Amino acid sequence: MSSSPPRFFRDSSPAGAPGLKRSQFTYRQLSQLASYNASSSPLRVIAHIDLDCFYAQAEMIRLGTPEDQPLAVQQWQGLIAVNYPAREFGIGRHCNVTEAKKLCPKLIHQHVATWREGDVKWAYHDDAAANMATHKVSLDSYRLESRKIMAVIKAELPPQLQRVEKAGIDEVFLDLSAHVHTILLERFPELAKPPPYDDPTEKLPRPSIYALDWQADALVDLDDEHTEIDDPDWDDVAILIGSEIVRDIRRAIRDKLGYTCAAGIANNKMLSKLGSAHKKPNQQTVIRPRAIQHFLSDFKFTKIRNLGGKLGEQISQTFSTEAVKDLLPVSVEQLKLKLGGDTGIWVYNTIRGIDPSEVNARTQIKSMLSAKSFRPSINTFEQATKWLRIFAADIFSRLVEEGVLENKRRPRTINLHHRHGAQTRSRQGPIPQGRQIDEETLFDLAKNLLGQIVLESRVWPCANLSLSVGGFEEGVTGNMGIGAFLLKGDEARALKAGPHTSMADDGNELHPVEKRRRMDNGGIQRFFSKRELSQGANRELGFNDAAIKCNSNGSGGTLGSPVNEMVSGEVEKKESVLSVSEEQANRHEHPFTAFMCSRCNAKFESAEEHQSHQDWHFAKDLHDQERVNSAFVTRNHQANDASSSSRPGSQKTGAAADSKRRGRPKKTERGQSKLTFG
């Protein structure tokens, strides 16, 4: 700034007493805190909150179970959530019910709610485990609890200053920066004064003695001997205010709903998530900026978000190590050389705890899927129709959550996939715009699509049915414009002709044609595209990052394994626009097919169609994966016993992980703070 004084004057600028050390932060950096300026605010405060053994707690609260009663949530013969008292007995998600009962005879094992074939509402059925063929898992009760928890979190934050990202069924990221900024100015009026010489690049005064006192007060629960409290700067103060807010939120969740949760508070998403997983249950970990390197260097980099899969593998092979500390001496040039430009830089920053990614207030769901695999297969249109009714009800209840009733968002297309032996058929059609979507409409559309498939050729027995809606668009709230009532082009044609069918020239299936802006194939995107694509589904299903690993590795080998159940979930896609063009509708007149799916031999005319078909397989694999991760973890565990690090979900779910967690030194790391309550 031209008006600012020469540098040498700054040491004696008026905001601080002469000779007093200045903060390392500037007035500008402080004000950036108020504007959620992710990349340029070193003071920002991000928290990650994750519910303890979520489904298990939900069942304990529903059933009024005493807190010390071991309880697990059962899905068929497997366990999908285990409370902490039960974990004391060595029970984990790897156990089946019989094994778990042996370890702890007094264990309560509550089966998840299910939809029973033909029913119109899910319920808790005592005989569900014995009737896998006629029941389908419903996670609705947990979604409902999840929504209540979200509401409590939001109610604890000032309406204008909240930025909350739901990152899974039981976890959120919070950007507390603006809220913390307000509190900072209230508590430390010296910060509210204009900068010396009106120069925002001036350094702030150092936190006062009062700040130190405040820290001691605020951290009564802290294990002080392991905490750096000397010489604090504003980043420490900011993060400790953040930790105070998080403690209040956790207390409110506990008081109002009865749930305990773990939390991490740091200056970015990646660190806050590592923080919440660090000490469980019912604890929060503060990772102060000056403790980041120490905190991270003990980690395997494969434990870091986005480094669990293919990329992590490539790095560990290239540099013959999995330890963060071994990678730290590697120069950015070398990382760029070995991993590619963007990736090299990203890895260089990540292992140093640098993550500028933003907390996204709203994660848009791009499609929803409800499916069931049949063992034994089903044989009649009537049987299939009963399941379609359930799928329609299931999807509709989630659409309501997405705000279809208020016309906030609505899907434009509906797809039905049908598997008969090795052959999969699919049909898709538009969802009529201009009138309210209801369960009945979805059901009628689905039945119509099934009718189309059934007419084609031999379709029974059917081993799998899956219904999905997609092509979400923002609705018009308030008065609907006339456009909303008019059907355009293909949509109108398709509706006139009944549900649109996509057929390959050879009569084989063709999958929904979804035009998706292709992601950059090069650079770091190639490692993330699938993972990002998967996250919506995984989030809603409550998978952690590790559970996605298998898919992001591209193994996708679950199709051949026994399929018993798929729960429904949302598939979030980047930039997905669904368009059904006339050309595509008439594809059977264009026998040229340049692209073929290596998994099911379906043929496609363009790379985009081929890609969207792969997306469909991918979404489906996720659902199969869910089954592998939950109901059949036992089988997986036995097969993979020694290689738990590559087992999906092993990062947070296996007994190995649990015992590792238990086995961690009790000592709080230098610079880390642990707060407990309740």
Which residues are at the interface with Ca ion (CB under 5 A)? 50-51, 54, 168, 170-171
Find the shortest distance in angstroms from Cβ 603 to ligand CTP: 35
Residue 122 binding target from Ca ion, ligand CTP, none, CB below 5 to 8 Å by type: none
- Among residues 53 and 359, whose Cβ is nearest to ligand CTP? 53
Distance of alpha carbon 279 from the chain centroid: 20
- Among residues 172 and 462, whose Cβ is nearest to ligand CTP? 172
Residue 289 binding target from Ca ion, ligand CTP, none, CB below 5 to 8 Å by type: none
- Among residues 238 and 261, whose Cβ is nearest to ligand CTP? 261
Residues 6+ apart with CB under 8 A from 605: 587, 590, 592, 593, 594, 595
Find the shortest distance in angstroms from Cβ 628 to ligand CTP: 9
Find the shortest distance in angstroms from Cβ 57 to ligand CTP: 8
Find the shortest distance in angstroms from Cβ 460 to ligand CTP: 32
Find the shortest distance in angstroms from Cβ 75 to ligand CTP: 7
Residue 617 binding target from ligand CTP, Ca ion, none, CB below 5 to 8 Å by type: none
Find the shortest distance in angstroms from Cβ 137 to ligand CTP: 9
Q: How many CA atoms lie within 13 A of 236 on its CB side?
A: 24
Asked whether 472 and 576 are in contact (CB, 8 A), the reply is no
- Among residues 511 and 652, whose Cβ is nearest to ligand CTP? 652
Residue nearest to ligand CTP (CB): 542
- Among residues 54 and 604, whose Cβ is nearest to ligand CTP? 54
The tokens of 563 are what? Answer: 């399929």
Give the strand pairing for 367-378 and 569-571. antiparallel
Asked whether 277 and 672 are in contact (CB, 8 A), the reply is no
Find the shortest distance in angstroms from Cβ 538 to ligand CTP: 9
- Among residues 389 and 647, whose Cβ is nearest to ligand CTP? 647
- Among residues 308 and 556, whose Cβ is nearest to Ca ion? 308
- Among residues 384 and 547, whose Cβ is nearest to ligand CTP? 547
Residues of the shown chain interacting with ligand CTP in the complex, contacts defined by CB under 6 A = 50-55, 73, 80-81, 169-170, 280-281, 542-544, 547, 629-630, 649, 652-653
- Among residues 168 and 344, whose Cβ is nearest to Ca ion? 168
User: Distance between CA atoms of 183 and 241, rounded to whole angstroms?
Assistant: 8
Find the shortest distance in angstroms from Cβ 253 to ligand CTP: 14
User: Distance between CA atoms of 315 and 322, rounded to whole angstroms?
Assistant: 8
- Among residues 170 and 235, whose Cβ is nearest to ligand CTP? 170
User: Distance between CA atoms of 544 and 648, rounded to whole angstroms?
Assistant: 9
User: Distance between CA atoms of 673 and 287, rounded to whole angstroms?
Assistant: 7
The tokens of 188 are what? Answer: 């430390």
- Among residues 135 and 610, whose Cβ is nearest to ligand CTP? 135
The closest alpha carbon to 251, from 560, 589, 675, belongs to 675
Residues 6+ apart with CB under 8 A from 649: 93, 543, 544, 546, 547, 629, 633
Residue 281 binding target from ligand CTP, Ca ion, none, CB below 5 to 8 Å by type: ligand CTP
Find the shortest distance in angstroms from Cβ 357 to ligand CTP: 20
∠ CA 283-157-407, rounded to 5°: 115
Find the shortest distance in angstroms from Cβ 37 to ligand CTP: 30
The DSSP result for 587-651, as a single string, is: GGG-----EE-TTT--EESSHHHHHHHHHHHHHHHHHHHHHHHTTTHHHHHHHHGGGGGGSTTHH
Find the shortest distance in angstroms from Cβ 287 to ligand CTP: 18
Tell me the CA distances in angstroms from 385 to 135, 139, 417, 576, one per residue in order: 14, 22, 13, 29
**Backbone phi, psi, residue 427, to 5°:** -135, 150
Find the shortest distance in angstroms from Cβ 177 to Ca ion: 23
The closest alpha carbon to 124, from 135, 54, 133, belongs to 135
- Among residues 54 and 348, whose Cβ is nearest to ligand CTP? 54
∠ CA 149-155-159, rounded to 5°: 135
Residue 55 binding target from Ca ion, ligand CTP, none, CB below 5 to 8 Å by type: ligand CTP
Asked whether 566 and 553 are in contact (CB, 8 A), the reply is no
**Based on the number of CB atoms within 10 Å of its own CB, is 288 exposed (0-12), middle (13-18) or buried (19 or more)?**
buried
- The b-or-e profile of 81-92 (16+ CB within 10 A means b, else e) is bbbbbbbebebb
Residue 543 binding target from ligand CTP, Ca ion, none, CB below 5 to 8 Å by type: ligand CTP
The tokens of 406 are what? Answer: 């208020």
Find the shortest distance in angstroms from Cβ 171 to Ca ion: 4
User: Distance between CA atoms of 288 and 303, rounded to whole angstroms?
Assistant: 19
Give the strand pairing for 462-470 and 423-430. unpaired
- Among residues 57 and 452, whose Cβ is nearest to ligand CTP? 57
**Backbone phi, psi, residue 21, to 5°:** -65, 145
Residue 415 binding target from ligand CTP, Ca ion, none, CB below 5 to 8 Å by type: none
- The distance in angstroms from the start CA to the end CA of the chain is 52
- Among residues 170 and 658, whose Cβ is nearest to Ca ion? 170
Asked whether 424 and 512 are in contact (CB, 8 A), the reply is no
Residues 6+ apart with CB under 8 A from 72: 56, 79, 81, 82, 83, 86, 91, 95, 97, 100, 107, 108, 109, 110
- Among residues 218 and 656, whose Cβ is nearest to Ca ion? 656
Find the shortest distance in angstroms from Cβ 92 to ligand CTP: 10
Find the shortest distance in angstroms from Cβ 527 to ligand CTP: 22
The tokens of 394 are what? Answer: 């299931």
Residue 629 binding target from Ca ion, ligand CTP, none, CB below 5 to 8 Å by type: ligand CTP
